Structure 1
Amino acid sequence: MKYLGLRMKDLQDREALNTAREIASQPSSWEKTYKRFLEEKEYILQFLQKVWEHDFPYIILTGAGTSAFIGEALVGSFQKKWNGVCRAIATTDIITHPENYFIKSRPTLLISFARSGDSPESVAAVELAKEHCDCLYELNITCNKDGALAKKIKDTDSYTFLLPEETNDQSLAMTSSFSSMLLTGLLISNILDAEQLRPTIDRVCELGNYVLNDCLPDIQKMAETDFKRMVFMGSGPLFGIAHESHLKVQELSNGKVICKFDSFLGFRHGPKAVVDDTTVVVYLLSNSAGVQPYELDLVRSAKTTAAGERSIAIGNSYDESELKFDLSIRFPGGTEDIQEEFLSVFYILPAQIIGFYKSLSLGLSPDSPSQNGAISRVVQGVKIYHLTENEKC
């Protein structure tokens, strides 16, 4: 048995088996997640109907770290599909300044994403929401049936969707848990059309397998080159993927590769200064005709002022005869048949693979790359402080 082209024995010897298996298993996890969602759809819908009884409910997508970036990728889909105000707010922001984000008189749906559900912020954010909202609904999306979030006392105003067990990644870096919770969020935002999404899910799985199999050698080759910085760019839902991509490579390389992220348009406003001849720039290209001209203008501009950096393009929106990249990941049959937000599910794969192979090339263990224990699978040491009424501002 091999994962990401490496034998199980070699992966075990290098403490890389969990990460490799979790990355490689994602298309299978997406299929199982979709199947479970369809089985629970009517129960989720019954819960959401209570939310929709209110005019223009306020929707908050939350999580910590990688789980927070899920919300960044989903916020546009929820706002478009549900015709309500939706914000992506990390639990790490909610904990310190809940009054900045909750509107007491506004009916609120808090959607929490958590791999383990055991980080102190996960449960505390829900408790703070209860304090600051007169009308609160809780939808918890988690991969761990034994986590604190999954075990919370349930009532008629809360619902927990538990993902398939294999999405509860055992390695430090979240991979299949991220993409599977992201897919779940997309399914929820499209819940009224969930059965009709079968062709989209099949196509997403097909292109995920294409990246994991056909593109693997070229991605590995790029990962093993000598670079010290990576910059990821994405627009709209792919901005959240750029955010997660930067963290994934930085985590798996134990900070040996410093990463940045931005939108295509935002990159011009200062962040471009980080690019030098030790940098790999990754362009996550949209399939939206309205977005592509802005992105390609930035690519052309970057290439005319290149300082020796290397580049990766993910997507089909450019003319190969005009623009050349050190690594091009183009998808067979194109992606025009896929809603833009669903690109995010498989666009995360290249960064995960690059992070994995960069970790190995640096002599690290991908399952636990943090040599000094500075980061851990479940964040530890966060103390939650409860203010008295007199202390509150």
Structure 2
Amino acid sequence: MLVVDKSHKILGLGEEQLDKAGAGLTAREVAQQGEVWPAIADLLASRRADIDAFLGPLLARPDLRIVLTGAGTSAFIGECLAPALLRRGLRAEAVPTTDLVSGPRLFLQPAVPTLLVSFGRSGSSPESVAAVALADQLVTDVHHLVITCNADGELYRMAQGRANALALLLPDATHDRGFAMTTSFTSMLLSAALAFGALGADAVAAPSAAAPRLQLAALPLLQALVEQRFGRVVYLGSNALRGLAREAALKLLELTDGQVVALFDSPLGFRHGPKTIVDEGTLGVVMLSNDAHARRYDLDLLRELRNDGRAGRVLALSGIAEPGLGADCVTLDDMADADDLALALPYIVFCQCYALLQSLALGLRPDTPSVSGTVNRVVRGVTIYPYQGENDVSGR
């Protein structure tokens, strides 16, 4: 079921109009997320016994290394999740499959017990499949948790019938048919957060209610941002929200076919050189943390960017209402006490909406935004070479 208003519009546009513009798939997948997330919570609750039986003994091992992996957007799930797992005392690292495949002995430790957590919308990206095979080849004691949206994907099939593997197959609604990962990203992130206990089931209701409200309430602001035609957009977030900022930047790059330059950083890191990109054609978006300590740094950078007067506009996304944030702020209702992982879900919906509307304004077709056809929904053209050890000279 879709999250739409009574006029059957999504972001102010009729579904027929969106379909004709080549945006229907992406628009529906962005809009549906508030309804999909409770279904994810129900699914995880129904699999709780299996998850605990698999993860419980592993997480009890003090020497366990958790490697969160995926390619592109799927890799950024790990970047969002890793800080929360570290906070729980777990040894967790986000390592993209694209790094694991090109440098297996740099990122896989043969003697260290490892849980490889693989995220994949299709589950058939060449690097994702190769990363599992390399972990099996190189790590003596390895286990696999696969979180995917596709029952026909290779990752899901590879996990079947293996004592050292568990696969969580998400509902078909999460398997985005549009080019850009939207529902799949948030659903896999939420699934992993619930599986590892980084979020409790009671944390799902607030973002699920906030997302559809946000799409309606923020529509005038989103339309105004699109009309300003920013050539550069910078997304900033601390800790878990830094990974989210990276995903927001990629979404804008993808859906605008690279016509809008999008960057990401942490608020503290941005001052160390990247801030030089800011000019009058730049939109800055600061994703404010609900963590009191991190938020101080976020607010400092927000004020600094506004006081500099160089950016075309500086917007804040916040779960906490406070007067000092000014008019250029999107505040989410009932999210003041939310963990940043829960806050991330409606935050990214706002960013997805902006990317979608900007894509349409540029005359692109968001469901298939690559005009040249050189960038594809499932990556093509990757040759996977067999790994023959550190003394491999086959490529010389």
Question: Into which bin does the TM-score normalised by the smaller protein fall?
Answer: over 0.9
Question: 2:231 maps to what in 1?
Answer: 228
Is residue 243–residue 261 contact of structure 1 (8 Å, CA) maintained in 2?
yes
Q: 1:245 is matched with which residue?
A: 248
1:329 corresponds in structure 2 to: 330
Which residue matches 1:109? 115
* Aligned counterparts of 1:61 and 1:307: Cα–Cα separation in 2: 38
- Cross-structure match for 2:261: 258
> Which blocks of at least 5 consecutive residues in structure 1 are unaligned?
none
Identify the residue that residue 158 of structure 1 maps to in structure 2. Answer: 165
**1:366 counterpart letter in structure 2:** P
More deviation, 382-391/85-94: 382-391
Task: State yes or no: 1:292 paired with 2:298.
Answer: no
2:305 is matched by which residue type in structure 1? A
Q: Report which stretch shifted further, 49-58 or 17-26.
A: 49-58
Partner of 1:137: 143
Taking the aligned partners of 1:165 and 1:228, their CA distance within structure 2 comes to 36
Contact map agreement 1:26 1:176 (CA 8 A) in 2: yes
How many residues are paired up? 385
* 1:55 CA displacement: 2.4
**TM-score, normalisation: structure 2:** 0.93
Question: 1:114-163, CA deviations, whole angstroms, 9 ceiling, x for partnerless residues?
Answer: 00011100110001111121100100000011111111143111000000
Structure 2's unaligned 5+ residue stretches are: 1-7
- Residue by residue over 1:334-393, the C-alpha shift from the partner in whole angstroms, topping out at 9 and shown as x without a partner, is x23212222112210111001100010000001001000121110001010013358438
CA distance in 1: counterparts of 2:146 and 2:209, whole angstroms:
28
SS state of the match for residue 236, structure 2? strand
- The one-letter amino acid paired with 1:324 is G
Partner of residue 189, structure 1: 196
2:4 aligns with none
1:339 equivalent to 2:339? Answer yes
- In structure 2, distance between residues paired with 1:390 and 1:86: 25
Is 1:69 paired with 2:76?
yes
Q: Is the 8 A contact 1:292 1:317 kept in 2?
A: no
Shift of 1:189: 1.8
Q: Separation in 2 of the partners of 1:276 and 1:381?
A: 37
Whole-Å Cα distance in 1 between the matches of residues 48 and 219 of structure 2?
A: 35
Q: Does 1:93 align with 2:99?
A: yes
Does the residue aligned with 1:290 lie in a helix, a strand or coil? helix
Residues 67, 179 of structure 1: alpha-carbon distance in 2 compared, 3 angstrom cutoff: same
Alignment of 1:161-180 (within 5 A): 161-180=168-187
Taking structure 1 as the reference length, the TM-score comes to 0.94
Superposed CA RMSD: 1.6
Give distance in 1, aligned partners of 2:343 and 2:390.
48
Equivalent-residue separation in structure 1 for 2:266 and 2:338 (angstroms) = 21
Aligned with 1:377: secondary structure? coil
The equivalent residue for 1:371 is 371
